[in-house]
Structure 1
């Protein structure tokens, strides 16, 4: 039981986002570079694009805008230009932190020579591959694919989350096998094994806190900022869709009410 409690503590940096929920649904892909924003639908079809924050083209047609609409378009496009690159960095760093933590816990407890280690690495690699396909930075372009982002702490959709859970479950299986081996041998030998494992866990926990704790808190604060920013952009988009008929059926960002609790220091 003491060993299991240690394991829970080891992964606590990754659960420090628990009070920060934000449902974000991107109905379309978003491509951003310095000069334009493209909203991309099925088969890479451009639904609309914004050039230089002040020109709107919907399905190939240039839309004439009044001053109020131009101001809202400028606010919306400026926000997208600002948030999308940072969102891609946040997603990448968050998953890298999760992968690094799972690997460190597994190696520290059962070692890289364990037969299940390759399975763990394979599952974690699939997580990273999915992130690279969903959040892309190529040359001057930033791209985010469509999909629901349910928890801003990991910024991954359900399929990616399943891969991460699979990796952790594989890791946990190896860890529990190690703990199960503690009961082999006599009572004195079992006590020695338990003490050795407890020392390893304590040392690992201290090292992970040193390596991961501050970074996890930093990412958490960035995630809180991102959630509020996306909520604000959703409100601006709703105003554009209400005033520009050509955008009425194109709803890019959908968010729910966020938990605005500030990250703990």
Structure 2
């Protein structure tokens, strides 16, 4: 039965990009020494050094077998969460850094400050569910399907709108400045607007690559989550205090 399940998992990454509902019921914060399982910014569970388990701050004394399970579970999360967060964060940073580079030095100082504030605000909004800071990673509660929707259904239109808004303002500023000095400005205006379309195309191309990467890896990610869920079930059977906290879930 297990062999059949794994065979189905690998038969089509595209299918599982739509059908794999495995995910996390809690937020996860991964650091070199700790893994925190969080609910509304409160730590419900914590694993220290891949061996020590805490429930709401209370240390659980583990048997040798339980410690081995905790270590396997912890190391599985350490391999999975940073990779997922990296795909999402790279997608956001790809689009925003492209815009920042092309906006650099254009317009007045006040206009640049306004555009930079808008980009920072957009970055904060988009990355509220995914955080990467050095060797610290945070992933909010969500499924693989929700991650795919973030890349295709949320991120792309928001970055496209931001690019058009920002560069629309850029070309308006350039028009105001150049109309007084260049009689032929109107002849080059369509080329300027072509640059906006070129920027949007570059952003979309990069995001499509990230979405394709996620789609290629979804079957593997789904398998990892199923295996983590099995380990979690074994721990819950051995440690009843864990029954109240389903971290890996089918959403």
**Could you say which TM-score interval applies, normalised by the shorter chain?**
0.5 to 0.7
132, 135, 157: which one pairs with 2:130?
135
Deviations 1:34-70 (A, max 9, x none): 111111123x221111111111111121111112211
Choose which of 208, 215, 219 in structure 2 pairs with 1:220. 215
Match of 1:78 in 2: 75
Residue 237 (1) aligns with residue 235 (2): no
Q: What TM-score results when the alignment is normalised by the length of structure 1?
A: 0.56
TM-score w.r.t. length of structure 2: 0.58
C-alpha distance in 1 between matches for 2:15 and 2:147? 10
Task: Report the Cα distance in structure 2 between the residues aligned to 1:76 and 1:244, rounded to whole angstroms.
Answer: 14
- Structure 2: 5+ residue runs without aligned partners? 1-12, 100-117, 164-193
Matches of 1:20 and 1:221 in 2, distance apart? Answer: 8
Q: 1:124 to 1:143 in 2, by over 3 A?
A: same
SS of residue in 2 equivalent to 1:65: coil
Structure 2 counterparts to residues 170-209 of structure 1, below 5 A: none
User: 5+ unaligned residues in a row in structure 1: which ranges?
Assistant: 1-15, 104-122, 172-199, 257-265
How far apart in 1 are the matches of 2:119 and 2:226? 30
Task: Report the number of matched residues.
Answer: 197
User: CA offset at residue 249 of structure 1?
Assistant: 0.2
Structure number having the greater helix percentage: 2
CA distance in 2, matches of 1:81, 1:222: 17
Q: CA RMSD in A?
A: 4.4
SS of corresponding position for 1:68 = helix
Change in CA separation of 1:247 and 1:71 when aligned onto 2, cut-off 3 Å: same
Cα deviation, residue 146, structure 1: 2.2
- State the partner residue of 2:175: none
Q: Deviations over 1:44-101 (max 9, x none)?
A: 221111111111111121111112211111110000111111110122235567999x
3-state SS of 2:128 partner: helix
Change (3 A) 1:164 1:230: same
Change (3 A) 1:224 1:168: farther
Deviations 1:151-181 (A, max 9, x none): 553456xxx945756777999xxxxxxxxxx
Conserved 8 A contact 1:37-1:49: yes
Alpha-carbon distance in 2 for matches of 1:170, 1:223: 29
- Equivalent residues of 1:39, 1:46 under 8 A apart: yes
Q: How far, CA to CA, are the matches of 1:131 and 1:70 in structure 2? A: 37
Q: Which residue number in structure 1 is paired with residue 28 of structure 2? A: 30
Aligned to 2:86: 89
Is the aligned partner of 1:46 residue 2:43? yes
Equivalent in the alignment of 1:186: none
Give 3-state SS (helix, strand or coil) of 1:49's partner: strand
